[in-house]
């Protein structure tokens, strides 16, 4: 058979790889990374995805996982054991909050949520057994922008690791490891893959020691990604820069339109000058502000229903970051598990709608919004 050089990596849809003999088996263990044995341990497709994301984030290496949630789990378990304590930003994805407060506490890891006002002054929250702080570059759903460099200085001063969920920003806008974070996680499901057809996660580490621990957790807990999902995500990743530019320019145009609309009470988007972290977002995001925004119409469930039902083609789909625009409802989906008090404290009220801006023509999206807002 002639030697072939495919331009695109083939799909290695296999659970196991064969060895020629015992010498080949020994070589596998003596020279890690030179060959493959079992797809839970590694596969060319998932390795390609990990390497490409690592290049973008400029880390020591990356590990891909079965979902964004398993990426968060792997990042936490890599450094925490029973009896340890973790800190978490108060304004964070509901799934992250549930994982820490409901599941990690069951296995003996204590959790404290840090109020937004105290983000950069952690002294009163850090204990001798505190291991890390988990936070997001841009928060979900109210788009608060984190000063990663400032927070990294504080976590270093306190002797704890900084784990940043960079899903909303992507490395096209912000590279947290360069700003001092220790670990970066993504739900690859979102912008990195970009087409709403993959469920995957990734953990990128600054230090080799942390990377080895994440790799070990992924293998032993079985958090691995399938070859086909790895292939599909690597394929989507190739257009990330192009997609992000269009997501960002569309989102800014739509945020400005919504801001002027009489039926919209508030808009959350870092690209608007009145956003409290606008200058930080501009500096930290290379002049781009992301493809996510949220806005509030009147706080009535029926008004929200009328708005969603009147959208001609934009779906109500509780995820984000696909090439097609979608709307989501934080109170009923991502932040459903929070108490009413927590929801109110964060400002997530009945009328808040999250808008994941796609890469369509902005005029088409604005026309759809005009139709839907007329029904409110």
Inter-axis angle of helices 227-237 and 44-57, nearest 10 = 30
Which one is catalytic: 12, 36, 47, 93? 93
52: part of which helix (H) or strand (E)?
helix 44-57
187: part of which helix (H) or strand (E)?
strand 183-187
Which one is catalytic: 190, 243, 296, 354? 190
Q: Residue 114's beta-bridge partner residues?
A: 89
Tokens of 253: 């145009």
Which one is catalytic: 165, 243, 269, 296? 165
At 346 the three-state DSSP class reads helix
At 161 the three-state DSSP class reads strand
Active site residue 84: no
Active site residue 260: no
Tokens of 209: 């020691």
Q: Residue 87's beta-bridge partner residues?
A: 112, 133
Q: Are 112 and 248 in contact (CB under 8 A)?
A: no
Tokens of 107: 């296995």
Q: Which residue has the tokens 């009535």?
A: 300
Tokens of 181: 């974070």
Q: Are 313 and 174 in contact (CB under 8 A)?
A: no
Active site residue 93: yes
At 191 the three-state DSSP class reads coil
- Whole-angstrom distance, CA of residue 202 vs CA of residue 63: 6
Active site residue 299: no
- Whole-angstrom distance, CA of residue 152 vs CA of residue 196: 32
Q: Residue 162's beta-bridge partner residues?
A: 133
At 367 the three-state DSSP class reads helix
> Could you give the residue numbers annotated as active site?
40, 93, 165, 190
């Amino acid at each position: 058979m002639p030697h072939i050089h495919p331009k695109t990596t083939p799909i290695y849809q296999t659970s196991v790889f064969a060895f020629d003999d015992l010498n080949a088996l020994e070589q596998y263990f003596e020279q890690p990374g030179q060959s493959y044995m079992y797809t839970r341990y590694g596969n060319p497709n998932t390795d390609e995805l990990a390497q490409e994301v690592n290049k973008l984030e400029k880390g020591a290496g990356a590990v891909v996982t079965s979902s964004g949630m398993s990426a968060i789990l792997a990042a936490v378990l890599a450094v925490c054991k029973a009896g340890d304590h973790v800190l978490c930003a108060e304004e964070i994805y509901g799934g992250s909050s549930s994982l820490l407060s409901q599941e990690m506490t069951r296995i003996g890891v204590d959790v404290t949520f840090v109020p937004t006002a105290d983000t950069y002054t952690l002294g009163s929250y850090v204990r001798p057994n505190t291991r890390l702080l988990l936070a997001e570059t841009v928060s979900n759903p109210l788009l608060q922008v984190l000063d990663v460099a400032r927070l990294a200085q504080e976590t270093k001063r306190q002797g704890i690791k900084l784990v940043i969920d960079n899903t909303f920003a992507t490395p096209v806008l912000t590279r947290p490891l360069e700003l001092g974070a220790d670990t970066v996680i993504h739900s690859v499901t979102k912008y990195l893959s970009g087409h709403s057809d993959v469920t995957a996660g990734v953990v990128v580490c600054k230090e080799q020691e942390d990377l080895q621990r994440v790799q070990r957790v992924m293998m032993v807990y079985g958090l691995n990604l399938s070859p086909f999902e790895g292939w599909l995500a690597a394929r989507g990743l190739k257009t990330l820069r192009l997609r992000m530019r269009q997501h960002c320019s569309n989102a800014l145009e739509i945020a400005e339109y919504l801001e002027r609309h009489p039926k919209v009470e508030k808009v959350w988007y870092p690209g608007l000058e009145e956003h409290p972290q606008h200058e930080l977002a501009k500096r930290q995001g290379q002049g781009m502000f992301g493809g996510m925004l949220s806005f509030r119409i009147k706080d009535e469930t029926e008004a929200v229903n009328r708005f969603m039902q009147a959208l001609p083609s934009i779906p109500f789909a509780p995820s984000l970051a696909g090439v097609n625009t979608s709307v989501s409802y934080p109170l009923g989906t991502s932040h459903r598990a929070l108490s009413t008090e927590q929801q109110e404290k964060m400002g997530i009220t009945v009328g808040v709608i999250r808008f994941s801006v796609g890469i369509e023509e902005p005029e088409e999206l604005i026309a759809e919004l005009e139709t839907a807002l007329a029904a409110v």
